[in-house]
Amino acid sequence: MRIPLAYNLRSLMVRKVTTLMTMLGIALVVATFVALMAMASGLDRTLRSSGVPENVIFLRKGAVADATSSLTIEQFRALSELPEIMTRPDVGTLASPELVCQLLWRRRDGGNGNVILRGVRPVAFAVRGDIRIEKGVTLQARSDHLVVGRRIPTRYPGFELGSKVQLFLREYTVVGIMSAAGGVYESEIWCDLDGLASDTRRSYYSAVVTKLKKASLFDDLSRRVDADPRIALEPRREVDYFDEQSESARRLRDLWMGIALLMGIGAALAAMNTMYAAIAARTKEIGTLRVLGFTRAEITASFIVEAVFLALPGGILGCLLAIPVDGWTMGTLNLRSMSDVTFSFTISVPIILGALILSILIGFLGGLLPACQGTSVPITRALREF
């Protein structure tokens, strides 16, 4: 025999003020959790979504990001002969040599950011399938043109379509705005490789990004690279590379998770307080329920359900309160490449589920002890109580 849910709901309604305040407390905790997780997961998505399985990135051995890697033109020539790399009649071998620099540029909000300036050849767009020119035109080889990620103009002034930008001793024109399926390239500025190399007096490349004929060819490629002394580079799957890059997001997530859990403990204790008071005032009712034939376990379960019903609406309210943060943009430092990356807060289904689980957990933990204690009073004493 189960105690009807209506009993618990009505009991909650009896003490509306207390119930409401407890719910609000839980809502605050859950809203904070959702907002912080949305931030960490937004950053994680941005750092990760740039990789595809069949792409391989070649870096200098020991380099942790393309910005701090370097390789020679001879190494590039040797690796572009690898048979595993795809070729396309229109662009040739899908191996994109790139020179990555970091510009210190004034942000709209006052401070400076390290923006990645990536010198590329047109093949770079072919290697990365998900780059779209949203406005304007694509980058031509040997031009003083810039194509900027769609996040750039909102974060840095002076990069609107058609703007002139002075970089080194050259005046560039912004000819295109690109999107990259939410990835890090949306926070980068791309220009012609050879112009950048001569301006920065660099006679080397930073990294080479290649597309394989099939993702499964990576092991063959690795073996061939190991055996070729002319290459002496470290090939990495692009997905693994971006997975490493998302370290900043993981650290952020762990930190936020810790803060949210601490707040959750506070809220669970508060819920416990509320439930103790609610149950203490109902000792006589418990006695009556026992006389009517409900078992202790049923009554305990019913109170725990009540506690969960106290917490769950708080959790739902918290999720609703946090919805406006979805889509907020923020910039932070990618710890691997030490460059600025802009991302959007992203509320996802797992975050909402996590938030609801958190609120249920708060209710469960808050209700467990009071429920057990409340039902352990002997019937005769319970009934005698005023």
Partner 1 sequence: MKFLPLIWRNMTRNPRRAWITILSLAVPFFLLVLLQTALGTVDVWMQRADKNLRVVVLHKMGFFFDLPESHAARLKTIPGVVDVCGFVYYGGVYRSFKEGILGSAGVDVESFRKVWPEGAVPPGQYERFRHERTGAAIDHTVADRFGFKVGDEVTLKGTVRPVDLKFKICAIIRNSVVPYGFYLHREYLEEALGKPGILTNVWLTVDRGENIPSVMRTAEAMFANSSSAVKVELEKNIFLEVISMAGNVRVLAGGVGAIVVCLILLVAANSIAMSARERTSEVAVMKALGFSPGTVLTIILAESGALGLAAGIIGCAAAHLFLTSGWCHGLIGIWSSYLSYPGRAVITWIWIAPLMGVAAGLIPAALAARLVVADALRRVV
Contacting residues toward partner 1, per CB under 8 A = 17-18, 21-22, 24-25, 28-29, 31-32, 36, 60, 62-64, 67-68, 70, 101-105, 109-114, 167-169, 199-201, 259, 262-263, 265-270, 272-274, 276-277, 281, 330-333, 338, 340
Residue 143 and residue 166: Cα distance in Å, rounded?
A: 14
The nearer residue to partner 1, 137 or 259, going by C-beta atoms, is: 259
The nearer residue to partner 1, 109 or 219, going by C-beta atoms, is: 109
The nearer residue to partner 1, 67 or 316, going by C-beta atoms, is: 67
Residue 216 and residue 355: Cα distance in Å, rounded?
A: 38
CB of 35 to partner 1, least distance (A): 8
CB of 228 to partner 1, least distance (A): 19
Q: How many CB atoms lie under 10 A from the CB of residue 48? A: 17
- Give 355's DSSP letter: H
CB of 213 to partner 1, least distance (A): 30
Q: What are the C-alpha distances in Å from 22 to residues 4, 25, 253, 303?
A: 23, 5, 26, 16
CB of 364 to partner 1, least distance (A): 16
The nearer residue to partner 1, 12 or 267, going by C-beta atoms, is: 267
The nearer residue to partner 1, 25 or 287, going by C-beta atoms, is: 25
Residue position matching structure tokens 């997530």: 253
CB of 142 to partner 1, least distance (A): 19
The nearer residue to partner 1, 63 or 91, going by C-beta atoms, is: 63
CB 315 within 8 A of CB 28: no
For 239-256, b/e burial (b = at least 16 CB within 10 A) is bebbbebbebbeebbeeb
| Cβ-based neighbours of 285, under 8 Å, separated by 6 or more | none
CB of 94 to partner 1, least distance (A): 26
Residue 257 and residue 246: Cα distance in Å, rounded?
A: 16
CB 127 within 8 A of CB 211: yes
